[in-house]
Structure 1
Amino acid sequence: MKINFKNYIASIFITVLMVSIFSSCTETKEEVTLLFVGSFTDKKTGEGIHVYEFDTETGKSTLKHTIDSITNTSFQRLSPNGEYLYSVVDSQKKYNGKVAAFKVDVPNKKIDLLNIQDCGGLNPAHLAIDSSGNYLVNSNYSDGSLSLFKINNDGSLSENSQVLQFKDSSIIKSRQRASHMHSANFSPDNNYVFAHDLGADKIRGFELVKKQGKVSLENPKEIKTKPGSGPRHFAFHPNGRFGYLVNELSGKIDAYTYSNGNLGFIEDYLTYQQKQHIYRTADIHISPDGKFLYASNRGPEEDTIVIFSVDENSGKLQLVGHQSTYGEHPRNFGIDPSGNFLLVANMYTNTIVVFKRDIVSGKLTKLPFDISVKNPSSIQMKTY
């Protein structure tokens, strides 16, 4: 058989070209996990935000970017899509704090400031963002207020559209002479906001009402906690049926059912290994698979992470154990998106300690990759 050489060469060229095009179309981008750390800066301008690349194979971190001209960026929150980072600014000052919006530059592993807005109150302590990424609620601790922001299409913040002020108290006079809003959460269905008032021993519920292009927190209701509890932080279970409140002053976690804007108390659980004269329970998170719950205890005699397994049918907790944080005052901690690592910010010892998480038992094993950073107080992570 006689072969047409020109046609043969042309067919080879076309085949190679098609393989090349197919390969380029199916080539997957390499994933990168970024770790964002917010810090107290001793109430003066300093290194408030650090951005690290986190290796999800080893648990090692590499510093990539620092914001060094900002004050008391003590709490941060990533948008649901991870494109934007929001941080409180000027917390614990005698004048109104602020909220800053940053664009996450993933290729360069850094963040760029978009804008800063007044938060409408004193000492912003917590930020929450709804699942659509359109609204942000800020909790002001010192004057007991909540502020609501609209997030613009470019990730920047509009001026606060609503500030709610609360006047209340409870039984521990050294800590509960006035309302202290410590945090807030959007409900799993995105229709409600629950705010946690340490000073009043109350969870304050609101409906997120959208009318004529505007949004507001309306139809308030109160869920009372046990006197002297000191509600601090809250986590909804991934299945959307349960919620868990960590109480700073009683050292307990309250378990709740959730349905259509209503929280129903199940029971509570002590977070410390033994009775203390002062409790300082701080942060709370649930593993991505929903099987385990973790909370941090900040001294004075015990710096630990408590580990509970979660009954996903009843919402009840079962104690697994306690893990030393290998540092003092674990104000905040985070679980990486894969669920394989847990990182603890030990604020008083200036370290972030990295643990490998056993996804079957929920237990933690310390890795030798501590991150040295001054006064770490907030951890956010995202895989891109």
Structure 2
Amino acid sequence: MKNKILLILTLFFCITIYSQNTYVFFGSFNRDKSSEGIFVYQLDTIKGKLSKVTTVKNILNPSYLTLSPDGKYVFACTESKTKNAGSVSSFEFNPENKTLNFINSQKSGGENPVYLTAYKNGKWLINGNYTEGSTSVYPISENGRIQPMIQNFQFTEGSIDPGRQERSHIHSTVFSPDFQYIFMPDLGADKIRCYQFNDQKNEPLESCKIPFTKTTLGSGPRHFTFHPNGKFAYCIEELTGTVNAYQYFDGTLKSIQRINTHPEKYKEDFESSDIHISPDGKFLYASNRGFEDNIAIFSIQNDGALKTIGYQSTLGKHTRVFAIDESGKFLITTNARSGNVTVFKRDFKTGLLKKVGKKVKIKSVSCVQIKNYN
């Protein structure tokens, strides 16, 4: 009996500690350095409630965030959507003191940075610049300081949509599961570009044998994710409202399916945005902005193909980046135009979402990242 009580108390203690040490980071288009740009909240992983911890001012349009693998540093795309500007910035997060402090910034190497990713050892940072269609590589020192860029790749070619594809637009930079390759969906050129990554070299990015995978003309590939098993990859295509599923092996992609993120009745004006897979690899989620503002939910079959399960309203306008916590229990959306955040609890069996917690207002919120610090 004593052992059972001890086990229950230990389990309760672990659950309580976990619920108190999960933090959520939000980026935004603040448009003004004097207003708050980055917001840190604590997530109650029992009730799904968000509580504000701290905020950061004196930075402009920190529209996209990523964390170092250990969560000690927060990297941000700054000066996004600012004409003739663009930068990447570093901050140190201390969960004990609940502080987020600015470290430094570097030029992004192109106008309008929109995506950042960190290497597994935290010593490299790669960003994608949308407007000028380029990618930059930065070393990161042990204190989280971003060093000047050591590589910058500029792309120019466009595709068939004169309004959106007049030139290259890199929209994300995503490492392969083994961190030997990096993939860069190019919305402007209808290509998923590929580079090898060798962290032992001073200039780690090298050309792949197959430098890019073509996507459907006019599709506008945007964000990209890998299945936890490393055998499949998925790209959300903004302009056609579709997800392209791929078989993946050693730097190569082979399309196996292309499926709508919208019901068949919708035929145009798509603004699909972000894409993520549940940690158990059973469900894929894709966000749609515009006239729908929802999350499309798919089950993932054994062969990597997707099956539509349903749609969940995000209860806001212009849904951009969303995130799933490490346990797979919660999905959090950012709604930029309505300036609100919605927390959903995931059903592990069905993949469906249910709103929990109270409404959180953050003006022009654009990005969310979640990290547990146990």
Instruction: Compute the TM-score of the two structures, normalised by the length of structure 2.
Output: 0.92
Post-superposition shift, 1:327?
1.0
Q: How does 1:244-255 map to 2 (within 5 A)?
A: 244-255=234-245
Counterpart among 278, 281, 288 of residue 272 in structure 2: 281
What CA deviation, in whole Å up to 9, does each residue of 1:333-368 have, x standing for no partner?
Answer: 111222111111111111001111101100001124
- Provide the rounded CA distance (Å) in 1 between the counterparts of 2:275 and 2:201: 36
Checking the alignment, whether the CA contact within 8 Å between 2:240 and 2:268 is kept in structure 1 is no
CA distance in 2, matches of 1:135, 1:291: 31
The total of aligned residue pairs comes to 356
* Residue aligned with 1:333, SS: strand
Alignment-derived partner of residue 7 in structure 2:
none
Among candidates 63, 66, 87, match of residue 74 of structure 1: 63
Matched, 1:124 2:113: yes
CA distance in 2, matches of 1:343, 1:120: 31
The one-letter code matched in structure 2 to 1:309 is S
Cα-to-partner distance string for 1:147-185 (whole Å, 9 max, x where unaligned): 011121222211111010001011111100111111111
3-state secondary structure, aligned to 1:59: coil
Output the amino acid matched with 1:237. H
Structure 2 distance, partners of 1:54, 1:375, is 20
Q: CA deviation at 1:134?
A: 2.0
Match of 1:51 in 2: 40
Q: Which of 344, 351, 354 pairs up with 1:365? A: 354
Match of 1:308 among 298, 321, 330: 298
Q: Give 1:303 deviation, angstroms.
A: 1.1
Give distance in 1, aligned partners of 2:275 and 2:330.
Answer: 15
Partner of 2:343: 354
Q: Is the aligned partner of 1:156 residue 2:145?
A: yes
1:216, distance to aligned residue in structure 2 (A): 2.8
Amino acid at match of 1:320: I
Q: Which has the larger radius of gyration?
A: 1
Question: Separation in 2 of the partners of 1:176 and 1:43?
Answer: 29
Choose the corresponding residue for 1:181, options 147, 170, 174: 170
Give the Cα–Cα distance (whole angstroms) in 2 for the partners of residues 161 and 213 of structure 1.
Answer: 8
CA contact (8 A) 1:254 1:268 kept: yes
Contact map agreement 2:33 2:57 (CA 8 A) in 1: no
Q: Spell out, residue by residue over 1:301-352, the C-alpha distance to the aligned partner (whole angstroms, 9 max, x if none).
A: 21110000112x3111111100111111101111122211111111111100
Q: Which runs of 5+ in 1 are unaligned?
A: 1-26
How far, CA to CA, are the matches of 2:259 and 2:201 in structure 1?
Answer: 44
Alpha-carbon distance in 2 for matches of 1:212, 1:110:
34
Give the corresponding residue for 1:228.
Answer: 218
Residue 91 of structure 2 aligns with which residue?
102
The alignment's C-alpha RMSD in Å is: 1.6
Give the match for residue 233 of structure 2: 243
Q: Give identity over the alignment, percent.
A: 43
Alpha-carbon distance in 2 for matches of 1:168, 1:88: 24
5+ residue gaps, structure 2, are 1-12
After TM superposition, give the deviation of residue 133 of structure 1 in Å. 1.9
Residues 145 and 181, structure 1, Cα contact 8 Å, conserved in 2: yes
Q: What is the deviation of 1:217?
A: 3.4
Runs of 4+ in structure 1 off by over 4 angstroms are: 210-214
Between the aligned partners of 2:34 and 2:158, the Cα distance in structure 1 is 33
**Equivalent-residue separation in structure 2 for 1:248 and 1:136 (angstroms):** 25
Between the aligned partners of 1:46 and 1:258, the Cα distance in structure 2 is 43
Is 173-182 or 271-280 further displaced after alignment?
271-280
CA deviations over 1:63-94 (Å, ceiling 9, x no partner):
11010221100000011221111001100111
